[in-house]
Amino acid sequence: MNRLLPAVALLATAVSLQAHASGDYEYPYSGIGGGMASLADACDNLGSSCDDEATAFRIYSGARLLSNFGVEVGYTQSQEFELDDTSGTDLSLRGLDVTGLVHLPIGGRADVFLKAGGFFWDSEFEGPSSAEENGISLRTGVGAQLGITEHLYIRADYDYVPNVDYSNGALDEDDLSLISGSVQYHF
C-alpha cells in the first residue's frame, strides 16, 4: 500500500497539471471565407480567351485537440473557370477536405499554421465535350490567424491541391491553388 500511494500521487499531480495546461487549447470554431482559385496549366497553349482564375469560397469548422495540433473539415467551391470564352468551355470545382493543422504561436492571439490532409473533389467540365469527374487529392497549405477579440478571428490561407482531374483530353489534370481570407468564430 505504501508503495502504491506515491505512484497515485504522482499520477494525480500529472493529470491536474495536464488539465491546467489544456486551458490554453482552443475549443471548436467555424469560419467562412473567400478568395481566388487558380489552375497551374489550364491556359497553356489555349490563347488569350482562357481564364485560369476564378473566385472561390470556403466554409469550415475545426478544433484544436492539443496545444499545437488541430483538425479541420471544410467545403470549398469555385466559380466557373472560363477556359475558352469563344466555345463556352467552363470548369467548376468543389470539394470537401479533412486536414490536420500544426499551429506555431507567435504571440497573444496570433499564430501561423501548416496543414495537410485530403481533398475529396468533384469537377464539372462543360463545353463541346462535357465531363464530370471526382477523386481524392492531397491538400497542403500554410496560413496565419489573428484574434481580434476572444471569439472573433481573421485568417489568411494558401492551399495547394495537386492533380485535380477534369478529363478534357489534352488538359487531363491540373494543380489547384487557393488564396483566401476568412472570418472565424471561436466558441
Residue-wise pLDDT tens digits, 122-145? 988 887 777 788 889 999 999 999
The whole-number pLDDT of residue 51 equals 77
Domain ranges of the chain: 26-186
Average per-residue pLDDT in the chain? 81
What does the DSSP assignment read for 14-50? HHHHHHHHGGGS---EEEEEEEEEEESSTTTTS-TT-
Place of cell 496570433: 110
Q: Is the pLDDT of residue 87 over 50?
A: yes
CATH level 3 topology of 26-186: Porin (2.40.160)
Residue-wise pLDDT tens digits, 12-49? 333 333 333 445 566 799 999 999 998 887 677 666 66
Q: Give the range among 36-50, 57-71, 93-107, 126-140 with minimum mean pLDDT.
A: 36-50
Place of cell 489573428: 146
Sign of the CA dihedral with 73 first, then 74, 75, and 79 last: negative
Amino acid letter for position 107: G
